[in-house]
A = this chain, B = another copy of it.
Amino acid sequence: MSKHEHISMSVIRRLPRYYRFLSFLIESDVMRISSKELSEKMGITASQIRQDLNCFGGFGQQGYGYIVEDLQKAIGEILGLNNLKKTVVIGAGNIGRVVATHMIFENQGFKMIGIFDKNERLIGESIRGIRIDDSASLEKFCNENHPSVAALCIPKEDVPEIIDRLIALGIKAFWNFSHYDILVKYPDVAVENVHLNDSLMTLSYKSNDL
């Protein structure tokens, strides 16, 4: 699957939202939608929608609108959602537990194949049919199963030791809940940071004058 090199990340970041809306329309048996209707439902301008979707060659027809299912499928392909990437969850504390329990990874392009923690009290428990293993066994597991993605659900201070091991084991993409800045040391891997504290601070700013 070719990365659409000339598409800005700000367009890419809007695609999951289109994908969600289109999936919702499919569930509601909507077959076709104009950019105007889509814009009213999504709260963004029709011209923004046309501009975004034109980045990928355009899916709509003038005066006819978009075929919902085709558009959803095309966006899913761009996002690589059908290409399930083997994923390990590192850390089975509260955040790791939410991630392992509730993220239906398969719908978003990932397949959870392992969960690891160093806490002996958690090792041996199962989440969604997957046993929490000792972090010490990461090397053996990865050499046998070749995951390419890790969800990092551990505190910042625990990251430096484990990140070097994960990179050496061939992990190339990180869903990072820690505050450790992976790209400083490893600029070539793919990282999506989920910084809940940063999001709260931004909300603090936005709500100052309300």
Q: Does A12 make an interface contact (CB < 8 A)?
A: yes
Pick the contact of A205: B15, B174, B191 (CB < 8 A). Answer: B15
Q: Is B79 a contact of A204 with CB atoms below 8 Å?
A: yes
Residues of A whose CB lies within 8 Å of any CB of B are 1-3, 12-13, 15-17, 19-20, 41-43, 78-81, 83, 85, 94-95, 97-99, 101-103, 105, 107-110, 148-149, 172-175, 179, 181, 183-184, 187, 189-192, 194-210
Q: Is A210 a contact of B189 with CB atoms below 8 Å?
A: yes
Q: Is B102 a contact of A201 with CB atoms below 8 Å?
A: no
Pick the contact of A200: B97, B108, B197 (CB < 8 A). Answer: B108
Pick the contact of A148: B195, B199, B207 (CB < 8 A). Answer: B207
For the complex, what is the distance from the CA of A88 to the CA of B41, rounded to whole Å?
Answer: 28
Q: Is A203 a contact of B183 with CB atoms below 8 Å?
A: no
